[in-house]
């Protein structure tokens, strides 16, 4: 049965939560008194539709139903998860969480997005809630800091994993949890650097994005510094840089006063730096960059890439069809080019991924390859028949044309969401012994499975376009 999330407060963060649940197949009911809430959330969800599916090489579940409610009881009825994301004021959080405790099903997790309040503060007037603190954009970044009752946060963690997030249990409640403690320290130093006229907002951003910002996404702080200690590792690093902590490098806890002058100085520099772009434009730029970086992390399984790999493995396999389905995904924005459609190179990428999937189907999987046997491609022929656009669903099915001895000849059909043929790729592979790098017969089981597909597919019509080559004569 479809699960339901109730989103209370649909601003920057509530909108992100709505998108995360919706695109993972949950029904989403929103309660927000702002008359503009539907438009704002719609824009956030459009951004999410453009970016979240691009992280995966499999299709996400069909989107759930989105509804807006002026009655909190109606929004909360039947919910499996309720997420409060109203402004960061304790009196307001008490009021909203108190009502939700009465109205939501007893079985529902009630999460608060609070950046700073502790669970004991949120529940001091009898409300039932745990802190589920996410990061912007909630639909792309996996981290959620969970703080509160152990059984309830364990239940919450399971749900969060199922929608591709990374729950981090905070062992002891503290103001601002873990991550915002860092962010606050960095923010405080940045304010001092601007106030003291040492650096502009743009120079501070360059100092982050040209250097340590790139490192942090893949190894965090401690692993990065371990390497910085050279062969002697962390001990050497601490011996060398530990004493600096007592030098006057930082402002420590000294907070700059938030005068009108400082606010104007920072807002003015920020306008000069980025005011020529709208917030939505900046969001799309941020999302495209995040998708590119997170896809790179997927390859090594580092950081957020490991979370994506785990979630992708849990996504449902496509339904059976006459031909094996060897690909089912949405087309990422990053696959499109200056002509506004999927670039030719990615047709090959989709076809090559289908070959890999077919190899798995006949047992030529990672273990088989590790045992020293594999297939090498020796020839491909691609026909580009129709445009494919960003966000469209792409499915690939595979017919075996030849599957005996060392040879495996496959014909991939690449189709859009309406089942229209957009491309075909014919590919010839030879089985190879990875130790001698010479062609060889496949293992008995792989050979038999391949032959079974080949025999079954012999009954099918020979595909139109198979056996073709580029016919233009050279002049
Ligand atoms: N903006 C950020 O970077 C992050 C914010 N948070 C936390 O998320 C929460 C929300 O912050 P934002 O989304 O940034 O704020 P926001 O100002 O963008 O959105 C708040 C929304 O709550 C609505 N609202 C106000 N009173 C309400 C009520 N009684 N019932 C239902 N909705 C109501 C407002 O109309 C608005 O749409 C805060 O607790 C904040 O600390 C957490 C992570 C990051
Ligand atoms: C500024 N902030 C404290 C609301 C930020 C967060 O809580 C997390 C984030 O997304 O940076």
Assembly ipTM:
0.97
Inter-residue contact 52 to 23 (CB < 8 Å): yes
State the pLDDT at residue 316. Answer: 81
Q: Could you tell me which of 148, 133, 109, 114 has the C-alpha nearest to residue 3?
A: 109
- Does 115 sit in the ligand 1 pocket, CB within 6 Å? yes
The answer to whether residues 160 and 193 belong to one domain is no
Query: In which domain, by residue range, is 197 found?
Result: 180-276
Per-position DSSP letters for 251-308, written without gaps between them:
-TT-PPP--HHHHHHHHHHHHHHHTTS-HHHHHHHHHHHHHHHHHHHHHHT-THHHHH
Ramachandran bin of 161, using left for φ above 0, alpha for ψ from -120 to 50, beta for the remaining angles? alpha
Identify which ligand lies nearest to the alpha carbon of 113.
Answer: 1
The answer to whether residues 338 and 262 belong to one domain is no
Instruction: Report whether 446 belongs to an annotated binding site.
Output: no
Taking residue 53's Cβ as centre, other Cβ atoms within 10 Å add up to 21
Q: Could you tell me which of 277, 329, 386, 275 has the C-alpha nearest to residue 52?
A: 329
Distance from Cα 413 to the centre of ligand 1, integer Å? 46
Of 129, 150, 177, which residue sits at a domain end?
177
Distance from Cα 135 to the centre of ligand 2, integer Å? 6
Instruction: Report whether 13 belongs to an annotated binding site.
Output: yes
Confidence of residue 399 (pLDDT cuts 50, 70, 90): very high
Q: What is the residue-averaged pLDDT of the chain?
A: 94
Mean pLDDT, range 284-289, rounded to an integer: 92
CATH of the domain at 39: 3.40.50.720
What's the token pair of residue 181?
């403690």
CATH of the domain at 446: 3.10.129.10
Mean pLDDT, range 376-401, rounded to an integer: 95
- Does 88 sit in the ligand 1 pocket, CB within 6 Å? yes
Kindly tell me if the per-residue pLDDT of 220 is higher than 90: yes
Mean pLDDT, range 15-34, rounded to an integer: 98
State the pLDDT at residue 319. Answer: 66
The answer to whether residues 117 and 15 belong to one domain is yes
Nearest CA residue ID for atom 34, ligand 1: 9
Separation between Cα atoms, residue 47 and residue 280, nearest integer Å: 8
State the pLDDT at residue 322. Answer: 81
What's the token pair of residue 1?
């049965």
Structural domain tally of the chain?
3
The distance in angstroms from the start CA to the end CA of the chain is 63
State the pLDDT at residue 254. Answer: 84
Separation between Cα atoms, residue 38 and residue 22, nearest integer Å: 14
State the pLDDT at residue 366. Answer: 96
Residue 281 in any domain: the answer is no
Residue 284 in any domain: the answer is no
Instruction: Report whether 45 belongs to an annotated binding site.
Output: no
Confidence of residue 472 (pLDDT cuts 50, 70, 90): low
The answer to whether residues 131 and 151 belong to one domain is yes
Distance from Cα 164 to the centre of ligand 1, integer Å? 22
The answer to whether residues 138 and 236 belong to one domain is no
Nearest CA residue ID for atom 9, ligand 2: 135
Distance from Cα 6 to the centre of ligand 1, integer Å? 14
The answer to whether residues 167 and 188 belong to one domain is no
Residue 282 in any domain: the answer is no
Taking residue 470's Cβ as centre, other Cβ atoms within 10 Å add up to 7
Of 177, 200, 218, which residue sits at a domain end?
177
- Does 336 sit in the ligand 1 pocket, CB within 6 Å? no
3-state secondary structure of 336: strand
Mean pLDDT, range 135-141, rounded to an integer: 98
Distance from Cα 97 to the centre of ligand 1, integer Å? 13
- Does 409 sit in the ligand 1 pocket, CB within 6 Å? no
State the pLDDT at residue 309. Answer: 97
Residue 71 in any domain: the answer is yes
State the pLDDT at residue 387. Answer: 96
Residue 238 in any domain: the answer is yes
Instruction: Report whether 363 belongs to an annotated binding site.
Output: no
Identify which ligand lies nearest to the alpha carbon of 16.
Answer: 1
The answer to whether residues 53 and 10 belong to one domain is yes
Separation between Cα atoms, residue 127 and residue 357, nearest integer Å: 49
Instruction: Report whether 14 belongs to an annotated binding site.
Output: yes
* φ and ψ at residue 471, rounded to 5 degrees: -85, -10
Residue 102 in any domain: the answer is yes
3-state secondary structure of 433: strand
Mean pLDDT, range 259-270, rounded to an integer: 92
Separation between Cα atoms, residue 413 and residue 140, nearest integer Å: 31
Residue 212 in any domain: the answer is yes
Q: How do residues 170-207 score in pLDDT, each as one tens digit?
A: 999 999 999 999 999 999 999 999 999 999 999 999 99
The answer to whether residues 39 and 167 belong to one domain is yes
The answer to whether residues 203 and 171 belong to one domain is no
Pocket test for ligand 1, best of 86, 112, 176 (most atoms within 8 A of CB): 86
The answer to whether residues 394 and 448 belong to one domain is yes
The answer to whether residues 170 and 184 belong to one domain is no
Pairing status of strand 130-134 against strand 325-330: unpaired
Identify which ligand lies nearest to the alpha carbon of 37.
Answer: 1
Kindly tell me if the per-residue pLDDT of 475 is higher than 70: no
Kindly tell me if the per-residue pLDDT of 391 is higher than 90: no
The answer to whether residues 213 and 115 belong to one domain is no
Confidence of residue 86 (pLDDT cuts 50, 70, 90): very high
Residues 250-282 as b/e (b if ≥16 CB within 10 A, e otherwise) read ebeeeebeeeeeeeebbeebeeeeeeeeeeeee
Of 133, 159, 177, which residue sits at a domain end?
177
Query: Which protein residues are within 6 Å of ligand 2, measured from CB?
Result: 115, 135-136, 180, 183
Residue 467 in any domain: the answer is no
Q: How do residues 330-352 score in pLDDT, each as one tens digit?
A: 998 889 999 999 999 999 999 99
- Does 129 sit in the ligand 1 pocket, CB within 6 Å? no
Mean pLDDT, range 152-164, rounded to an integer: 98
CATH of the domain at 272: 1.10.1040.10
Identify which ligand lies nearest to the alpha carbon of 68.
Answer: 1
Mean pLDDT, range 389-412, rounded to an integer: 95
Distance from Cα 180 to the centre of ligand 2, integer Å? 6
């Amino acid at each position: 049965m479809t699960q339901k999330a109730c989103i209370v407060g649909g601003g920057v963060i509530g909108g992100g939560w709505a998108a995360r649940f919706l695109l993972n197949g949950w029904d989403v009911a929103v309660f927000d008194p702002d008359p503009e809430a539907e438009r704002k959330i719609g824009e956030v969800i459009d951004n999410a539709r453009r970016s979240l599916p691009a992280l995966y090489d499999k299709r996400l579940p069909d989107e759930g139903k989105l509804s807006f409610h002026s009655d909190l009881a109606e929004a909360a009825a039947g919910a499996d998860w309720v997420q409060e994301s109203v402004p960061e004021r304790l009196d307001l959080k008490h009021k909203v969480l108190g009502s939700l405790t009465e109205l939501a099903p007893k079985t529902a997790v009630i999460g608060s997005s609070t950046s700073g309040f502790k669970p004991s503060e949120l529940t001091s007037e009898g409300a039932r809630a745990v802190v589920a603190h996410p990061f912007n954009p909630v639909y792309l970044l996996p981290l959620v800091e969970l703080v509160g009752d152990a059984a309830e946060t364990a239940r919450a963690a399971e749900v969060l994993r199922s929608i591709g997030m990374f729950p981090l249990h905070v062992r002891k409640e503290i103001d601002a949890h873990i991550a915002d403690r860092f962010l606050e320290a960095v923010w405080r130093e940045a304010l001092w650097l601007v106030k003291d006229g040492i650096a502009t907002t743009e120079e501070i951003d360059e100092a982050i994005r040209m250097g340590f910002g790139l490192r942090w996404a893949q190894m965090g702080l401690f692993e990065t510094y371990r390497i910085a200690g050279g062969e002697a590792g962390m001990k050497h690093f601490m011996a060398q840089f530990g004493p600096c902590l007592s030098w006057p490098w930082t402002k420590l806890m000294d907070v700059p006063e938030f005068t009108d002058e400082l606010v104007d100085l920072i807002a003015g520099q920020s306008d000069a730096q980025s005011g020529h772009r709208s917030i939505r434009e900046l969001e799309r730029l941020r999302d495209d960059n995040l998708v590119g970086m997170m896809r790179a992390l997927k390859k090594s399984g580092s950081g957020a890439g490991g979370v994506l790999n785990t979630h992708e493995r849990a996504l449902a396999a496509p339904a059976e069809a006459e031909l094996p389905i060897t690909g089912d995904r949405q087309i990422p924005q990053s696959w499109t080019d200056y002509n506004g459609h999927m670039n030719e190179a990615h047709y090959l990428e989709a076809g090559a991924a289908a070959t890999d999937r077919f190899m798995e189907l006949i047992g030529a999987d990672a273990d088989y390859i590790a045992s020293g046997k594999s297939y090498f491609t020796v020839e491909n022929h691609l026909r580009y028949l129709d445009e494919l656009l960003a966000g469209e669903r792409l499915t690939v099915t595979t017919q075996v044309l030849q599957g005996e001895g060392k040879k495996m000849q496959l014909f991939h059909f690449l189709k859009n969401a309406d089942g229209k043929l957009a491309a075909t790729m014919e590919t010839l592979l030879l089985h190879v012994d990875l130790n001698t790098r010479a062609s060889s017969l496949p293992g008995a089981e792989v050979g038999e499975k391949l032959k079974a597909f080949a025999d079954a597919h012999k009954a099918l019509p020979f595909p139109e376009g198979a056996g073709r080559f580029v016919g233009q004569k050279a002049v």
